[in-house]
Amino acid sequence: MSDMKRIIICCLLFLLCFSISACTPEISNTPNTKIEVTSENDFKIEGTNIDIGSSYKNIIEEMKEPNQKDYFEAGEYLDYGDITFFTDSEDEKIAKVSAIALHGERKIGSVKVGMLPSEVKQILGDPKFEGESNDREILGWNINYVIGNKEVSFISDTSDSVITTIFVKARL
């Protein structure tokens, strides 16, 4: 399966059915020793001004034409290789960013793709929840944080392997 298909399937499943009940609870009992991120403003995506709620027009103005674009759920996704934007409408005039997937060398706050889950927890403290999804082949290991009105998921194959995707969406 291609990396893009895997990311899209991962994001689709996350958006559609990921909930606390879909995870095996394995939250550490260790107290938070360091939390650098205290607000949404501290958790900006490096290298772009586009965030959850940005318009479709903002994406095209800043990022230009995507490498790949297609329909996804009720909106579109625009893929730029190391970052993918998901919109909430097929109508480009009203579409807003509803989710963002980071891969490659992308960084959000002090955390980047390629870190170990243990390193993420050292920086951000204990997650809201963590564990394996019901379909480990697609989602793998998830560490989830709620920061402001965003939900941020760090996705890896196992609890000991590097983060391959950071997925940001609006908190419902």
Q: Which residue has the tokens 């050292």?
A: 122
* Tokens standing for residue 88: 């909430």
What is the mean predicted confidence (pLDDT) over 98-116?
Answer: 91
Q: How confident is the model at residue 94 (pLDDT cuts 50, 70, 90)?
A: very high
Q: How confident is the model at residue 22 (pLDDT cuts 50, 70, 90)?
A: very low
Of residues 27 and 97, which shows the higher confidence score?
A: 97
Note the pLDDT of residue 79: 97
CA–CA separation, 131 and 32 (whole Å): 18
> How far, in whole angstroms, is CA 24 from its chain's centroid?
19
CA–CA separation, 72 and 152 (whole Å): 20
Q: What domain range includes position 78?
A: 3-170
Q: How confident is the model at residue 8 (pLDDT cuts 50, 70, 90)?
A: low
Note the pLDDT of residue 159: 93
DSSP string for 10-77: HHHHHHHH--GGGS------SPP------SGGGSPBTT----TT-BHHHHHHHH-S-SEEEEETTEEE
* Measured CA distances, 52 to 61, 95, 118, 132 (Å): 16, 11, 26, 26
What is the tens place of the pLDDT at every residue in 34-50? Answer: 444 555 655 678 889 99
What is the number of structural domains in the chain?
1
Q: How confident is the model at residue 160 (pLDDT cuts 50, 70, 90)?
A: very high
